[in-house]
Amino acid sequence: EQVMRAPANGYTVMLAPNGPMTVMPAISEKVPYSPSRDFVAVSMAGSFPLILVVNAAAPIRSVKELVEFAKARPNDANYAGSGAMIQLASELFNLRSGSRFVHVPYKGSGDSINALLSGQVAMAMMDAAPATGPLQAGKLRGLAVTSSARLAAWPDLPTMAEAGIADMVVTPWLGFFVPAGTPAPVVR
């Protein structure tokens, strides 16, 4: 809202993830801004896939085993979600895999990791940054990535397609935006 109300002179630039700019306005009537009316996109800052993770102590070693777990133990089939994009990606996983994992909302990735480690949830999808430490420490186990190709940082993690889940490419992004009305030469 502060960026939306800032002077449209190019001195106020916002770095925003795709959730508030695409997902939230589509699913909530209470969003106090319109991405298309109140902002001008300047450029993409980057995009990143999500990693499907489970507690390393769990006997689940693959996406196939995770789906089998959900079918065999439906009361324990849940996932940690921290934000609309993560929830939508997880629900897409449900749709594509035929599983019925139930969403358990958390405030952030750290809370989701703690829920995984304490056994409160069976799985989570998250971006690589918060997952890296627990993955490297052997506390979490990565099962797949939501990109179309394997990640250079995690070459042993299959893509969802390689793991048997077709049409499951999810790559959240970050972009730079300025207030609507910013002159085109300034945006360029």
pLDDT per residue as tens, the chain (188 positions) = 999 999 999 999 999 999 899 988 888 889 999 999 999 999 999 999 999 999 999 999 999 999 999 999 999 999 999 988 899 999 999 999 999 999 999 999 999 999 999 999 999 999 989 999 999 999 999 999 999 999 999 999 999 999 999 999 999 999 999 999 999 999 99
Bridge-partner residues for 53, per DSSP? 124, 142
- What's the N-to-C CA distance of the chain in angstroms? 23
Q: H helices within the chain, ranges in order?
A: 2-5, 18, 24-27, 35-38, 63-72, 84-97, 109-117, 128-136, 184-187
pTM over 0.85: yes
Question: What is the rounded CA–CA span in Å between residue 140 and residue 3?
Answer: 38
